[in-house]
């Protein structure tokens, strides 16, 4: 393969003295039967099972979004009925949050890479890992059943008393589905925490861990502590709906705000579950393609922890106009501003990593830089929402929708795709076409901004969310947004083609095509089933890139003699 | 050194040695118990809010719980935890027969708890205290009492579910220990003990919240 | 312009909200632009193949200056955030503190319409007429699920809850017709649950009130409901039953049988009618029947107005 599609090798990566690149069969050679996949204990195969599942759900949730944007191209409700529209945005939210975003990076890249990055042969509890996937599938089946039975129309937030006493749809099925998939998250979280604590290779101290590992660790802590509260909240919803026991319905003596507090106590930390792993991926990518150690490594690690901790204290910012006390609002607002500080530090540090680096613009780098830009915009608009008086105007409008899509889609999905591209050679043993990948990344960035930036303006103008019809003056911006969605959809569909092509016809990848640091690159592509032939020993800091050193390959390429 | 020596020692391949496996399993159980604390915690939180909003009704309803059976169950569960502690201790001393007997005693007490609880449920049903089945209460407090008993059944049923799983696991380990001794047994039994004590601790919080509201 | 950004400013608070909005936009915009420019600049200057100095050529002294830069970019945002927080909180607190002389308007939300009542008895559906320049306070409740009263031109919204009263106040500053939206998803026709706020010059508004006056004002309607539902049988002057006297009750603290003391506000009266056993006044037997299912939310508001009117003039509560 010529240098046009593979990055230039620079710098010497100091190898641990006794690490030997494993030779021999890969984990993919150990059987291609259904049984070998469905009963596997291998974290790498489980990661692939997850990848296939969440990709399927991504496109189902995307189909719902397509219909939504189609409907919103005109002010009148002329594509689907109001009931159908309400079901579409509900299923879009439920599927994208619980069946795509929350499992995405942790269960795919995290599952595959965590043991490799710390020099372990598998996670601490491989069978629990497989159980996690089966729980995901179980939850998915409940949700699919709900869809087949006509869908649910409560919104992904299930506010009571609408969800308990007024909705005529099969709410219980979705509650069951989310409950079950929640346990999938909890088991994954337990597995990751124990693995990081107890199974690091000799010499791999906490401050030698890649930031990807720090991010998975913090994410797992959130999963483990927040998800049980969601589980119980869903149980209480079901109890009220099935048995009429008035916990949330005031007509039966309950309190609707109690539901909101319980729900958001989970759902706010959940958004950090969705973004922290992405931040971990971005750190790996930016360091590798700037050929520079991450600027301020310790600050980055502490920032990850700070985001996780403070993230548990801000849930009330979803309730500034709910009728909760003014004083509660003030406290939650202050804490919400505070949680933005570590996020800002991370953005500055990624930017500073470029400084004095040696930057290569491969596809993963484009996704990573896209993340930084889109996360910055999304994060800034979060400040508007943290400011009480502004939130009063902006909450429950398209401004909020734009804000969270900038972070979750512009941010997390971009980082997820960047990670998939970066570790694709490691996972599959093949290389893809960097030209097509870069084109898809740019298409995605352009389409994304066209789709979601107009929504900030719509929210400022007062267009509420979850609206099937809207006043005609909002049409222009809606049409722009729907047009952008077409480009965005193309950007998402393209990788399906060239990545599948690479599986069939792509050139074989070497152990370390990007010349990246990290233990996962010290074994073959794809790795053998037991990951490493010899347990690596670590004796150096992470990200030992040296941008000042130019390899002979670069000199040759420049002089045209390569 | 090529592949991990662990499989040769009968330890799962991802671990380097027995010590690592023990450490991982113990930490895993503690984190799992933390998730359970949050799970039950959310329920206790909702209960607290509901009680603060209807204190008289909760007091009246609590007086209708069966204090005799509830207190007996508390004693039984605490005793079962004692049996469990002793079982862990005798396992660490490799006293196989004593360990089996103590594990069985733990399980038997657990089953006794369950039997009493189910009897209590039946009595509650006959007293019209089951919210969806023919519920009847002093009209002054009916709404709050319905919510109280909703919590009562939800929390005790959830606890009973956790207890039942514990009984099955304890019996399984009693059987394993009875069949043949292996060096990891003391450690595994210790981890089961952690879970059993957690189930006990949940009851220690449930008992006053449900039975002692107005009986101080 | 209103569909592409902030709508026109039609309330006294809208001006202040917009100033804050522009300030936050400026600061965040400058920062985002700064990050973007830095990324582009570094991205070009340190691109593979360029001749710029790389990290290893950078002297250690510069590395020490790094620490100061990191502290700066932590503290400066923190200070900016605190400023924005304080500024926003002050407007928010003002929003939550209605003035004593505000005109009270009563709002009942139901799937999927807004019902509004003026104190003089005028009723409106999906439209609210109010005078310019006078503070107006909305007292709101829902008959079913959670809704939200949103007027973009005022920059205000407030969730409307079943089983409770929430409030929102404003002073309209500009004559005109402004969108009213429901902003909390409430079921099938959530997007159709809207209307208009019609702001009129005070003289025009007085004329409108006179034209649309109902047969009786709210308090008078409440009085006839008081008799119709038999409340006067126990709470009236000549009742033989021992029941709390309602004259001067509104706004006063009420000792309860369980030892607590609550203030007799709208919520207390509402719950006393629908859930009389929940808060029993100290010294009274719990014999009041519940009127749940018999009296609608609109009528409860009328009863509340009547009970308020029973207070002596000089002690009239807010």
Asked if C129 and C152 sit in the same domain, the reply is yes
Which residue in the set C5, C78, C92 is minimally distant from A389, CB to CB?
C92
Mean of pLDDT over chain C:
89
Provide the shortest C-alpha distance from residue C140 to chain B (in Å): 22
Q: What does the pLDDT read at residue A92?
A: 97
Asked if C102 and C175 sit in the same domain, the reply is yes
Asked if the model's pLDDT at residue A562 lies above 50, the reply is no
- Residue A252: closest CA among chain B residues belongs to which residue? B143
Q: What does the pLDDT read at residue A472?
A: 95
At A559, is the pLDDT very low, low, confident or very high (cuts 50, 70, 90)? low
Q: What does the pLDDT read at residue B214?
A: 80
- Give the structural domain span for A74: 38-559
- Give the structural domain span for C202: 1-52+98-211
At C2, is the pLDDT very low, low, confident or very high (cuts 50, 70, 90)? low
Read off the pLDDT of residues C256-285 as tens digits, 9 standing for 90 and up. 887 888 999 888 999 899 888 778 888 888
* Contact residues, chain C, for B56 at CB < 8 Å: 258
- Give the structural domain span for B83: 16-211
Residues A478-502 have a mean pLDDT of 96
Mean of pLDDT over chain A:
91
Asked if C191 and C299 sit in the same domain, the reply is no
How big is the CA angle at C279 (ends C275 and C281), to the nearest 5 degrees?
125
How many independent structural domains does chain B possess?
Answer: 1
At C75, is the pLDDT very low, low, confident or very high (cuts 50, 70, 90)? very high
Asked if C133 and C187 sit in the same domain, the reply is yes
Nearest Cα neighbor of C164 from C309, C276, C265, C39 is: C265
Interface mutation vs chain C, best among B50, B54, B56, B59, most C CBs within 10 Å: B56
- Which DSSP string corresponds to A27-39? GGGS--SHHHHHT
Asked if C192 and C305 sit in the same domain, the reply is no
Asked if the model's pLDDT at residue A524 lies above 80, the reply is yes
Determine contact, residues A53/A136, Cβ cutoff 8 Å: yes
- CATH number for the domain spanning C118: value is 2.60.40.420
Asked if C238 and C254 sit in the same domain, the reply is yes
How many independent structural domains does chain C possess?
Answer: 2
**Whole-number Å distance between alpha carbons of C309 and A104:** 61
Report the SS3 class of residue C146: coil
Determine contact, residues C237/C227, Cβ cutoff 8 Å: no
Q: What does the pLDDT read at residue A104?
A: 96
Q: By CB neighbour count within 10 A (0-12 exposed, 13-18 middle, 19+ buried), where does C249 fall?
A: buried
Residues A477-491 have a mean pLDDT of 96
- CATH number for the domain spanning A446: value is 1.20.210.10
Q: What does the pLDDT read at residue C63?
A: 67
How many independent structural domains does chain A possess?
Answer: 1
Q: What does the pLDDT read at residue C216?
A: 74
**Whole-number Å distance between alpha carbons of C49 and A555:** 10
Return residues 225-254 of C near A (CB < 8 Å). Answer: none
In a domain, C307, yes or no: yes
Read off the pLDDT of residues B136-151 as tens digits, 9 standing for 90 and up. 888 878 888 999 999 9
* Contact residues, chain C, for A549 at CB < 8 Å: 56
Asked if C242 and C157 sit in the same domain, the reply is no
At A21, is the pLDDT very low, low, confident or very high (cuts 50, 70, 90)? very low
Which residue in the set B55, B140, B143 is minimally distant from C286, CB to CB?
B140
Q: Which of A287-296, A338-347, A551-560, C104-113 has the lowest mean pLDDT?
A: A551-560
Given C211, C238, C256, the domain boundary residue is: C211
**A464, β-bridge pairs:** A397
Read off the pLDDT of residues A204-238 as tens digits, 9 standing for 90 and up. 999 999 999 999 999 999 999 999 999 999 999 99
Asked if the model's pLDDT at residue A86 lies above 80, the reply is yes
Nearest Cα neighbor of C289 from C234, C219, C221 is: C234
- Which DSSP string corresponds to B40-91? HHHHHHHHHHHHHH-HHHHHHHHTTS-HHHHHHHHHHHHHHHHHHHHHHHHH
Determine contact, residues A402/A467, Cβ cutoff 8 Å: no
The residues near B128 (Cβ < 8 Å, ≥ 6 apart) are: B134, B135, B136, B137
Asked if C201 and C242 sit in the same domain, the reply is no
A229 interface with B at CB cutoff 8 Å: yes
**Whole-number Å distance between alpha carbons of C235 and C47:** 85
At residue A171, φ and ψ (nearest 5 deg) are: -60, -40
Given C184, C211, C238, the domain boundary residue is: C211
Residues A279-306 have a mean pLDDT of 95
Q: What does the pLDDT read at residue A307?
A: 97
Q: What does the pLDDT read at residue C76?
A: 94
**Number of separate helices (H) and strands (E) present in chain A:** 18, 0
Q: What does the pLDDT read at residue A10?
A: 30
Q: What does the pLDDT read at residue C251?
A: 86
Which residue in the set A384, A396, A554 is minimally distant from C184, CB to CB?
A396
Asked if the model's pLDDT at residue A19 lies above 60, the reply is no
- CATH number for the domain spanning B41: value is 1.20.120.80
DSSP state, A508?
B
Residues C150-173 have a mean pLDDT of 96
Report the SS3 class of residue C290: coil
Given C179, C211, C243, the domain boundary residue is: C211
In a domain, C77, yes or no: no
B54 to C277: CB separation less than 8 angstroms, yes or no? no
| pLDDT < 70 stretches in chain B | 1-12, 216
* Contact residues, chain C, for A354 at CB < 8 Å: 38-39, 42-43, 46
Chains in contact with A, where contact requires at least 3 CB pairs less than 8 Å apart: B, C
Determine contact, residues C18/A381, Cβ cutoff 8 Å: no
B35 to A122: CB separation less than 8 angstroms, yes or no? no
Asked if the model's pLDDT at residue A347 lies above 90, the reply is yes
**Whole-number Å distance between alpha carbons of B189 and B112:** 21
Q: What does the pLDDT read at residue C24?
A: 96
In a domain, C279, yes or no: yes
Read off the pLDDT of residues A383-408 as tens digits, 9 standing for 90 and up. 999 999 999 999 999 999 999 999 99
At C176, is the pLDDT very low, low, confident or very high (cuts 50, 70, 90)? very high
Q: Which of A151-165, A322-336, A462-476, C230-244 has the lowest mean pLDDT?
A: C230-244
Asked if C44 and C145 sit in the same domain, the reply is yes
In a domain, B7, yes or no: no
Q: Which of A307-321, B126-140, C60-74, C253-267 has the lowest mean pLDDT?
A: C60-74
Determine contact, residues A369/A357, Cβ cutoff 8 Å: no
B132 to A243: CB separation less than 8 angstroms, yes or no? yes
Asked if C119 and C257 sit in the same domain, the reply is no
Q: What does the pLDDT read at residue A376?
A: 96
In a domain, B9, yes or no: no
A122 to B13: CB separation less than 8 angstroms, yes or no? yes
- CATH number for the domain spanning C306: value is 1.10.760.10
Residues C101-130 have a mean pLDDT of 92
At A12, is the pLDDT very low, low, confident or very high (cuts 50, 70, 90)? very low
Segment of A435-439, A505-509, C57-61 carrying the highest mean pLDDT: A435-439
Q: What does the pLDDT read at residue A51?
A: 97
* Contact residues, chain B, for A254 at CB < 8 Å: 50, 147
In a domain, A461, yes or no: yes
DSSP state, C11?
B
The model's pTM: 0.90
Return residues 21-60 of B near A (CB < 8 Å). Answer: 23-24, 27-28, 31-32, 34-36, 38-43, 45-46, 49-50, 53-54
Q: What does the pLDDT read at residue C249?
A: 87
The two structure tokens encoding residue A478? 């809606």
């Amino acid at each position: 393969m010529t240098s046009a599609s593979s990055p230039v090798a620079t710098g010497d990566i100091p190898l641990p003295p006794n690490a030997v690149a494993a030779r021999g069969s890969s984990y993919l050679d150990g059987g291609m039967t259904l049984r070998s996949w469905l009963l596997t204990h291998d974290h790498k195969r489980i990661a692939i099972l997850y990848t296939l599942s969440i990709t399927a759900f991504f496109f189902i949730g995307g189909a719902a979004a397509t219909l939504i944007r189609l409907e919103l191209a005109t002010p009148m409700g002329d594509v689907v009925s109001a009931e159908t529209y309400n079901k579409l945005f509900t299923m879009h939210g439920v599927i994208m949050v619980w069946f795509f975003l929350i499992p995405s990076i942790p269960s795919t890249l995290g599952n595959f890479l965590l043991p490799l990055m710390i020099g372990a042969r598998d996670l601490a509890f491989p069978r629990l890992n497989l159980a996690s996937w089966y729980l995901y599938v179980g939850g998915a089946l409940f949700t699919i059943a709900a869809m087949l039975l006509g869908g649910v129309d409560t919104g992904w937030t299930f506010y009571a008393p609408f969800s308990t006493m007024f909705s005529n749809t099969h709410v219980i099925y979705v509650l069951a589905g989310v409950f079950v998939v929640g346990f999938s998250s909890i088991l994954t979280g337990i597995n990751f925490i124990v693995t990081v604590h107890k199974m690091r290779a000799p010499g791999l101290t906490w401050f030698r861990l890649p930031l990807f590992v720090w991010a998975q660790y913090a994410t797992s802590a959130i999963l483990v502590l927040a998800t049980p509260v969601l589980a119980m909240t869903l149980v209480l919803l079901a109890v009220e709906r099935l048995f009429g026991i008035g916990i949330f319905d005031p007509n039966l003596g309950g309190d609707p705000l109690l539901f909101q507090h319980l729900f958001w106590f989970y759902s706010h930390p959940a958004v950090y579950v969705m973004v922290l792993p992405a931040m971990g991926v971005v750190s790996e990518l930016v360091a590798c393609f700037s050929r520079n150690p991450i600027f301020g490594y310790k600050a980055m690690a502490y920032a990850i922890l700070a985001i996780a901790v403070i993230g548990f204290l801000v849930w009330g910012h979803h309730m500034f106009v709910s009728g909760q006390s003014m004083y509660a609002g003030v406290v939650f607002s202050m804490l919400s501003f505070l949680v933005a500080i570590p996020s800002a530090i991370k953005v500055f540090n990624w930017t500073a990593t470029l400084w004095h680096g040696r930057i290569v613009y491969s596809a993963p780098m484009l996704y990573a830089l896209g993340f930084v830009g889109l996360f910055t915009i999304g994060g800034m608009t979060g400040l508007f929402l943290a400011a009480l008086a502004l939130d009063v105007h902006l909450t429950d409008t398209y401004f909020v929708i734009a804000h969270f899509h900038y972070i979750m889609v512009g941010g997390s999905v971009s980082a997820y795709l960047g990670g998939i591209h970066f570790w694709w050679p490691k996972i599959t043993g093949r290389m893809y076409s960097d030209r097509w990948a870069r084109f898809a990344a740019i298409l995605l960035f352009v389409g994304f901004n066209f789709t979601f930036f107009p929504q900030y303006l719509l929210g400022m103008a007062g267009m509420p969310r979850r609206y099937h019809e809207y006043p005609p003056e909002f049409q222009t911006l809606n049409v722009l947004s729907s047009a952008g969605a077409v480009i965005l959809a193309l950007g998402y569909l393209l990788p399906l083609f060239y990545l599948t092509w690479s599986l069939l016809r792509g050139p074989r990848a070497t152990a370390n095509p990007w010349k990246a640091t990290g233990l996962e690159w010290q074994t073959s592509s794809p790795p053998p089933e037991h990951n490493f032939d010899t347990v690596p020993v670590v004796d150096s800091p992470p990200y030992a890139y040296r941008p000042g050193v130019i390899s002979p390959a670069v000199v040759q390429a420049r002089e045209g003699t390569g | 050194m090529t592949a991990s020596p662990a499989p040769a020692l009968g330890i799962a391949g991802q671990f380097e040695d027995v010590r690592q496996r023990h450490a991982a399993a113990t930490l895993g159980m503690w984190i799992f118990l933390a998730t359970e604390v949050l799970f039950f915690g959310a329920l206790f939180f909702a209960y607290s809010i509901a009680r603060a909003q209807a204190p008289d009704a909760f007091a009246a309803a609590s007086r209708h719980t069966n204090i005799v059976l509830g207190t007996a169950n508390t004693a039984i569960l605490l005793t079962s935890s004692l049996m469990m502690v002793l079982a862990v201790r005798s396992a660490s001393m490799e006293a196989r027969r004593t360990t089996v007997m103590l594990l069985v005693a733990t399980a038997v007490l657990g089953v006794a708890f369950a039997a009493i609880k189910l009897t209590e449920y039946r009595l509650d049903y006959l007293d019209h205290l089951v919210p969806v089945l023919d519920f009847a209460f002093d009209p002054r407090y009916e709404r709050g009492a319905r919510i109280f008993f909703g919590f009562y059944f939800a929390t005790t049923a959830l606890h009973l579910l956790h207890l039942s799983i514990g009984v099955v696991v304890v019996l399984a380990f009693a059987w394993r220990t009875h069949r043949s001794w292996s060096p990891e047994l003391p450690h595994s039994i210790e981890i089961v003990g952690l879970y059993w004590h957690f189930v006990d601790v949940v009851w220690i919080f449930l008992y006053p919240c449900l039975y002692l509201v107005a009986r101080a | 312009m209103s569909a592409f950004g902030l709508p026109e400013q039609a309330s006294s608070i809208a001006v202040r909200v917009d100033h804050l909005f522009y300030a936050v936009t400026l600061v965040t915009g400058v920062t985002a632009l700064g990050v973007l420019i830095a990324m582009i600049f570094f991205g070009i200057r340190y691109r593979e193949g360029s001749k710029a100095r790389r990290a290893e050529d950078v002297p250690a002294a510069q590395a020490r200056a790094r620490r100061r830069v990191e502290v700066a970019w932590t503290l400066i945002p923190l200070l900016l955030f605190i400023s924005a927080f304080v500024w926003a909180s002050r407007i928010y607190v003002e929003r939550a503190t209605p003035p004593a002389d505000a005109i009270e308007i009563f709002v009942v939300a139901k799937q999927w319409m807004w019902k509004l009542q003026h104190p003089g008895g005028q009723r409106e559906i999906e439209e609210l007429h109010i005078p310019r320049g006078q503070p107006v306070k909305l007292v709101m409740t829902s008959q079913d699920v959670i809704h939200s009263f949103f007027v973009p031109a005022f920059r205000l919204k407030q969730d409307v809850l079943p089983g409770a009263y929430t409030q929102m106040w404003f002073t309209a500053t500009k004559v005109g017709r402004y969108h009213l939206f429901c902003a909390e998803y409430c079921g099938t026709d959530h997007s159709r649950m809207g209307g208009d706020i019609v702001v009129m010059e005070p003289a025009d508004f007085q004329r409108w009130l006179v034209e649309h006056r109902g047969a009786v004002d709210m308090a008078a309607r409440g009085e006839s409901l008081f008799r119709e539902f038999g409340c006067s049988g126990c709470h009236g002057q000549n009742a033989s039953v021992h029941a709390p006297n309602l004259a001067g009750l509104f706004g006063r603290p009420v000792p309860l049988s369980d030892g607590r003391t609550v203030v007799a506000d709208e919520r207390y009266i509402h719950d006393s009618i629908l859930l009389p056993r929940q808060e029993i006044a100290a010294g009274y037997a719990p014999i009041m029947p519940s009127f749940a299912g018999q009296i609608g939310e609109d009528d409860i508001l009328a009863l509340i107005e009547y009970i308020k009117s029973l207070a002596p003039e000089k002690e009239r509560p807010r």
